[in-house]
Amino acid sequence: MNPLHLHMPALVRHAGVWEGAYRTVDSDGVEIDRHASRIEVSFPDDGPHAYVQKNRFTWPDGRVVEAVHPGVYRDGRLWWDTGLIVGQAWQGDDRTCILTWERTDTPGSHLYELIVLAPDGLTRARTWHWFRNGVCYQRTLIDETKVS
């Protein structure tokens, strides 16, 4: 059985397919990117990864970016080390999860994310804080609805 069912039940409530929008704004609130998102979150019972997230981002000009973020469970947290992303997620209260990670293609920076999942499990609101040298220089605002 996947250990996250026992140790991170608030995270397991995110299982499913989510569609929404990512908006990135600079520290003055100016929007610098917007794209649609489809994210599949699964918690495999077998194999090396307790968590697998598949992202598909699409822009109005037709660009598509896909990525897979497998994570492992250890010491009450979920950990990623995918080559591009090194980070961890843990539970806040019943509704929230917190993540922090670094991108290996952006040295000297780190991110934090707060996710608030609705009690009915059908919508979630997420915000990333992007830091460079300790100062938040942009945010990504994400709102999603569970589609399956």
Partner 1 sequence: MSGIREGMPVLARHEGVWEGEYIHVDPDNNVIDRHRSHLQCTFPATGPHAYHQINTYIWDDGRTEEIHFPATYRDGAIWWDTERIDGKAWEIDPRTVCLTWTRKDMPDAYLYEMIQLSADGQDRARTWHWFENDQLFKRTCIKERRVS
- Which positions lie near partner 1, rule CB under 8 A? 23, 25, 27-29, 31, 34, 90, 92-93, 95-96, 98, 100, 112, 114, 116, 118-120, 123, 125, 127, 129, 131, 134-136, 139, 141, 143
What are the φ and ψ backbone dihedral angles of 9, each rounded to 5 degrees?
A: -65, -30
Find the shortest distance in angstroms from Cβ 103 to partner 1: 17
Sequence-ordered list of residues with C-beta below 8 angstroms from that of 109, at least 6 positions apart, any chain:
102, 103, 130, 131, 132
Nearer to partner 1, 9 or 92 (CB): 92
Give all strands (DSSP E) within 12-91, no chain letters. Answer: 16-26, 31-42, 51-58, 64-74, 77-81, 85-91
Nearer to partner 1, 56 or 95 (CB): 95
Find the shortest distance in angstroms from Cβ 74 to partner 1: 16
Nearer to partner 1, 47 or 133 (CB): 133
Q: Which of 34, 41, 35 is nearest to 17 (CA)?
A: 41
Find the shortest distance in angstroms from Cβ 52 to partner 1: 25
Nearer to partner 1, 79 or 90 (CB): 90
Q: In 10 A of CB 129, how many CB atoms?
A: 15
